[in-house]
A and B are shown apart, each in its own frame.
Chain A
Amino acid sequence: ETGVTQSPTHLIKTRGQQVTLRCSSQSGHNTVSWYQQALGQGPQFIFQYYREEENGRGNFPPRFSGLQFPNYSSELNVNALELDDSALYLCASSHRDYYNEQFFGPGTRLTVL
């Protein structure tokens, strides 16, 4: 059973650019949630994807968008990057059809200059 993986590990972008982060869910899981963790803070929920559709969203602007693919892997896209988008982005997978804990990936560290 493979765990949750994320790519890339680190990323540096400049303000105004666009970025795509990727997450492969754990085998057997059908739900992916994305979180933003600013330095020194707890993670904040961005949104969740269940069976390829957005299923819940936190307080993030529309320039944060996502996708989930038939194999349940997921992408997080951020347009028009701002300095405050610099953070650790975590994805977590779970199986929504019955209660299961969320398994987190190691995160992608995004730096916006």
Chain B
Amino acid sequence: AQTVTQSQPEMSVQEAETVTLSCTYDTSENNYYLFWYKQPPSRQMILVIRQEAYKQQNATENRFSVNFQKAAKSFSLKISDSQLGDTAMYFCAFEETGANNLFFGTGTRLTVIP
């Protein structure tokens, strides 16, 4: 069974600074996807970034980038130039290729301080 672990329940960062959120996962699969989702107080889950396990290159989306370490089963999210609108719960999620269902971690609550 797949498990996703987020060991940081809460984090805070000063506006314009950089923060890294941690995620580890456990799977016996070789082909899968990893995701970071953002859930603001409005509750709508929004995809931040996606990584295919077969790609060695780390995914980037503007201010968001990941550090994907397949052997270590680690998938951290780096947010650069943090903005007040980044304040939200962040969930790491795993999906086996073709399964189309997500396994989520317990989340990290990020607060950006002005």
Decide: B106 and A42 in contact? CB cutoff 8 A: yes
User: Please, which residues of chain A bring their CB within 8 A of the CB of B84?
Assistant: none
User: Please, which residues of chain B bring their CB within 8 A of the CB of A25?
Assistant: none
Decide: A41 and B106 in contact? CB cutoff 8 A: yes
Decide: A101 and B50 in contact? CB cutoff 8 A: yes
Decide: B101 and A44 in contact? CB cutoff 8 A: no
1/0 per position for B80-114, CB-CB distance to A under 8 A?
00000000000101000001111111110000000
Number of A-B contacts defined by CB within 8 Å: 55
Interface size on A, residues (CB 8 A): 25
Decide: A56 and B47 in contact? CB cutoff 8 A: no
Interface check A73, CB cutoff 8 A: no
Interface check A68, CB cutoff 8 A: no
Decide: A48 and B47 in contact? CB cutoff 8 A: no
User: Please, which residues of chain A bring their CB within 8 A of the CB of B46?
Assistant: 104
When C-beta atoms are compared, the residue in chain A nearest to B9 turns out to be A40
A-B contact pairs, 7 of them (CB 8 A): A35-B102, A41-B107, A48-B100, A48-B101, A56-B99, A102-B100, A105-B44
